[in-house]
Amino acid sequence: MVLVCLSLGLHWAALQSVAWTTMVIERTCSGSFGDALVTTFDGQHPCKLCQVVQAGQTADDTAGALVHGLKLEGFAAVSLVIPGEPPGGQDLGGTFLRVPAERSQPPPLPPPRLA
């Protein structure tokens, strides 16, 4: 669960929420609640934790771009060919496909319903 949260970047959202809550509380002490909300969310007055979160998100984005840019070259699919035809199999030019045998009896009928 923790690894999923970390891979989705939820730790940055949690830290940003802590930063915003702290900023609103600190700024409410020196001014009105409305002014505290405006200065917290206007993007012009970030705190140190906001700057750390921004730097961390930027670092994660660039690292993610590097990982997504990798290509798997030289990867080849390997098939297993067993010499001789397996029992119940069908030869398809070097590869074998196992075909299930046909049923000798029809499927059972459902029980009668009570009227």
The residue ranges of every structural domain in the chain are 2-68
Q: Is the pLDDT of residue 112 over 90?
A: no
Q: How far apart are CA 21 and CA 8, in angstroms?
A: 22
The predicted structure's pLDDT at residue 70: 52
> Contact, 20 vs 47, CB < 8 A?
no
Distance, in Å, from the CA atom of 12 to the CA atom of 24, rounded to the nearest integer, reads 18
Q: Which secondary structure element, helix H or strand E, spans residue 97, and what is its range?
A: strand 96-98
Each residue's pLDDT tens digit, 48-69:
999 998 898 888 777 665 555 5
- For residue 110, what pLDDT band results from cuts at 50, 70 and 90? confident
- C-alpha–C-alpha distance, residues 81 and 38, integer Å: 69
Please state the length of the chain.
115
**pLDDT for the residue 69:** 52
Give the three-state DSSP class for 63: helix
pTM, to two decimals: 0.49
pLDDT in tens, 86-106: 555 555 555 555 656 677 788
Which tokens belong to 16? 């940003």
